[in-house]
Amino acid sequence: MVTISDIAKIAGVAKSTVSRYLNGGSISETTKKKIENVIAATGYSPNKFAQSLKAKRTNIIGTIVPRLDSFATSQTLIGIDDHLRELDCQMVISNSSQDLKREIENIYSLAKQKVAGIILLATEITTEHLEAFRTVQLPVMLVGQQHDQFHSVIHNDYDAAYELGKYILANGHRKIAYLGVTEKDVAVGIKRKEGFRKAVEEVPGSKVRYFETSFKIEHSIQKVPEILEEFNPTIIVCATDNIALGALKAAHMNRLRVPDDLSITGFGGYEITEITHPSITTAKFYYREAGNLAARNMVKLVNEEEINQITFSRYKILERESVDKLK
Amino acid sequence: MVTISDIAKIAGVAKSTVSRYLNGGSISETTKKKIENVIAATGYSPNKFAQSLKAKRTNIIGTIVPRLDSFATSQTLIGIDDHLRELDCQMVISNSSQDLKREIENIYSLAKQKVAGIILLATEITTEHLEAFRTVQLPVMLVGQQHDQFHSVIHNDYDAAYELGKYILANGHRKIAYLGVTEKDVAVGIKRKEGFRKAVEEVPGSKVRYFETSFKIEHSIQKVPEILEEFNPTIIVCATDNIALGALKAAHMNRLRVPDDLSITGFGGYEITEITHPSITTAKFYYREAGNLAARNMVKLVNEEEINQITFSRYKILERESVDKLK
DNA sequence: TTATAATTTGGAACCGGTTCCGAAAAAAGA
DNA sequence: TCTTTTTTCGGAACCGGTTCCAAATTATAA
């Protein structure tokens, strides 16, 4: 284990000179070359614990995820990893297992690890979140939700839903069920619904009914027969692709042909929606790109550079097989 | 930031006494109580960097994953997280992005972080892997592959494939295509095929042809029409659920009813195989349990306790809708 | 050439813990 | 009660770096 003392001795300089070399302090070209050569010859790399202990900072970015087994989370993490890896920053992932209490604990735990900043893949922001972030005093980057006290990278839920709504209406659908989620989740529960509502308000003669389910596929499978019985829409607009997968399964189970008897759309652009039969029309969010943007912005926040309060990642309406053209 | 010096001062003892208390050294009941109370009152927790710097060890377990966006990986990670979290051990995840070179780098990088051990979710073990592990001299736990130089938790690929083969044969299938993957992956590419082969050898009159594709769904979608044209089997046994999803999509695209015209099975028990229409028969592996077992064994290895060279996680044949009963 | 300003360097203290070992205290044995 | 053994305790060195600041060296200006 080569230490800074070894490097200093071999190069014939003081430890503090090597440290200055490593950290951008003043150093002559001659001395710089000497140190460079010794480091290259020995393969030295600094002990991160010693650095962090004295300097009281790290190059660790903490990422808190609500769950490890979701498409959106995985892609976002890959995007974050892509960027942090280039910078020799370490990403530490803290899994909250969809437990808000645990998410708060994770915030404090990451602070204890002296992370340089926290990227939070958020579902909702409670007062406890606010308090924790106030206490730990770290740069915070939200992904997928916005809050006026933090910087965020968000998917354009509103515009995507508006555009998807226009597409659906342009295909002649006027009797529409919207299957949403809890409004505690502002992005998925409120913004997507509002964008969709804006689109239908622009077309007279549309009948829309709003329903609610959870994020779980099984609940969507159970909810759809109720909707069919109560309202009998030509299409179900689902707030997530998982809900859409559940709706597709329910349609098959009820002997409905998709899209002939019932059309279905989702949000997210999960890989599996292209594989199903029929493939599902959806508003695709570029989660990996969002993760990458979040990491870039995080690094800027850490370096105390100015960034936008809100950064949008892209979306794209993927027109596939699951929407019938009625007219 | 409360330090051990603060605790010592308040409790009226030396720093080294507090340290002995924290680390199981000799300490009287009276002194122990004093320190306990001060720690409880102050919420002190030790600085991990200082501990690691001096003690030259950590409670970090490094987990190397081939990719972040796979069902098996996610579930395994959750299982590892479940256990390590209980122990106040930190899990650090290193993503290899399916790049063997990067996987080797990750091994060295984790060693530099003084991880207590490495859990490797492996696809193959090359000589470079062997060399890296020899160099870093850390406890290693493989998941999903076995190798005679390391401890491992594996899915019972052979027995699961044997049992699935028996089930398929019991349903009357005699003209069978097996769609496998590269034999570089011993578990998925060799063991599953061998177990299946054992089953069909026990039933005279079976015609089996073995084909190969990659792990990607798109490749499976392209491969299936070739198989149908060349061999026209009653069933395709796919080496993973993703390959089975591709086969299902290809069947639909070719106007084949599943299971009437073509039956399909997979391996893994991915959540989505229950949602498809028809739901896919598969050999389910308990990835989360495997992750949990791996973490438990890892901790034992770190504590220099004896463990079995190989630990099997469970499997279960999920008989669903995608296999036709021919007789 | 001399004086002044700027740059470079190294020694020492320090970060928050762990570890060692001699001294002191407590417990056990004769 | 005295001697021996065991347990407890604290002081000091140390882990591998960073930081500060005075001294030394180099560069610039008069």
Q: Identify which of B49, B93, B252 has the shortest CB distance to residue A93.
A: B93
Q: Is the CB of B308 under 7 A from strand C?
A: no
ipTM score of complex: 0.91
Q: Would strands A310-313 and A140-143 be described as parallel, antiparallel, or unpaired?
A: unpaired
Res B80 pLDDT > 80: yes
Residue A237: which H helix or E strand, with range?
strand A235-238
Closest residue, CA to C1' of D11:
B14
Q: Is the CB of A55 under 7 A from strand C?
A: no
CA of B49 to C1' of C27 (A): 39
Of A71, A79, A73, A72, residue with least CA distance to A96: A73
pLDDT of res. B259: 95
Of A170, A160, A153, A233, residue with least CA distance to A192: A160
Res B214 pLDDT > 90: yes
- Each residue of A256-266: pLDDT tens digit? 999 999 999 99
**Rounded mean pLDDT, B260-272:** 96
Look up residue B89 and give its DSSP letter: P
Q: Identify which of B53, B95, B113 has the shortest CB distance to residue A50.
A: B53
**Rounded mean pLDDT, B269-284:** 96
Burial class of residue A230 (count of CB atoms within 10 Å of its CB; 0-12, 13-18, 19+):
exposed
CA of A54 to C1' of C13 (A): 12
Res B327 pLDDT > 80: no
Q: Identify which of B53, B95, B217 has the shortest CB distance to residue A275.
A: B217
pLDDT of res. A305: 87
Closest nt by CA–C1' to A17 = C9
Which chain B residues are closer than 8 Å to A45 by Cβ? Answer: 112
The CA distance from A80 to the nearest CA of chain B, in Å, is: 11
Res B176 pLDDT > 80: yes
Q: Is A74 within 8 Å of B78 when comparing Cβ atoms?
A: no
Interface of A with B in 206-265 (CB under 8 A): 217, 245-246, 248-249, 252-253
Q: What is the mean pLDDT of chain B?
A: 95
Q: Is the CB of B11 under 7 A from strand C?
A: no
CATH topology of domain B60-155+287-308: Rossmann fold (3.40.50)
Edge-to-edge strands, sheet with A315-318 = A207-212, A175-180, A235-238, A263-268, A281-285, A315-318
DSSP secondary structure of A181-195 = --TTSIIIIIIHHHH
User: Is the distance from CB of A309 to CB of A289 less than 8 angstroms?
Assistant: no
Res B319 pLDDT > 80: yes
- Is the minimum CB–CB distance between A272 and chain B shorter than 8 Å? yes
> Which of residues 20 to 49 on A have a Cβ less than 7 angstroms from any strand C atom?
20, 25-28, 30-31
Q: Would strands B263-268 and B310-313 be described as parallel, antiparallel, or unpaired?
A: unpaired
CATH 1.10.10.10 for the B157-286 domain, yes or no? no
- Amino acid letter at A149? Q
pLDDT of res. B181: 96
The CA distance from A273 to the nearest CA of chain B, in Å, is: 11
Place of tokens 């080569």: A2
**CA–CA separation, B11 and B22 (whole Å):** 14
Res B305 pLDDT > 90: no
CB count, 10 Å around CB of A279?
17
Which chain A residue has the Cα nearest residue B71? A69
Res B273 pLDDT > 80: yes
Q: Do domains B60-155+287-308 and B157-286 have the same CATH topology?
A: yes
**CA–CA separation, B96 and B104 (whole Å):** 9
**Rounded mean pLDDT, B104-130:** 93
Burial class of residue B240 (count of CB atoms within 10 Å of its CB; 0-12, 13-18, 19+):
buried
pLDDT of res. A76: 97
Place of tokens 């990422």: A63
Class of domain A157-285: alpha beta
Q: What is the largest CA-CA distance in chain A?
A: 85
For residue A93, give Cα distances in angstroms to A80, B78, B313.
11, 12, 25
Q: Identify which of A50, A52, A245 has the shortest CB distance to residue B275.
A: A245
Closest residue, CA to C1' of C8:
A27
- Is the minimum CB–CB distance between A45 and chain B shorter than 8 Å? yes
Which chain B residues are closer than 8 Å to A50 by Cβ? Answer: 49, 53
Place of tokens 């060799």: B190
B159-191 core/surface letters (b: 16 or more CB in 10 A; e: else): ebbbbbbbbbbebebbebbbbbbeeebbbbbbb
CATH topology of domain B4-46: 434 Repressor (Amino-terminal Domain) (1.10.260)
Name the residue with higher pLDDT: B123 or A141: A141
The ranges of chain A with pLDDT < 50 are: none
Q: Is the CB of B31 under 7 A from strand D?
A: yes
**CA–CA separation, A45 and A20 (whole Å):** 14
- Is the minimum CB–CB distance between B77 and chain A shorter than 8 Å? yes
What residues pair up with B61 in beta bridges, in sequence order? B91, B117
pLDDT of res. B144: 94
Please give the CATH architecture assigned to the domain spanning A60-155+287-312: 3-Layer(aba) Sandwich (3.40)
Q: Is the CB of B1 under 7 A from strand C?
A: yes
Domain boundaries, chain A: 4-46, 60-155+287-312, 157-285
pLDDT of res. A327: 72
**For residue B47, what pLDDT band results from cuts at 50, 70 and 90?**
very high
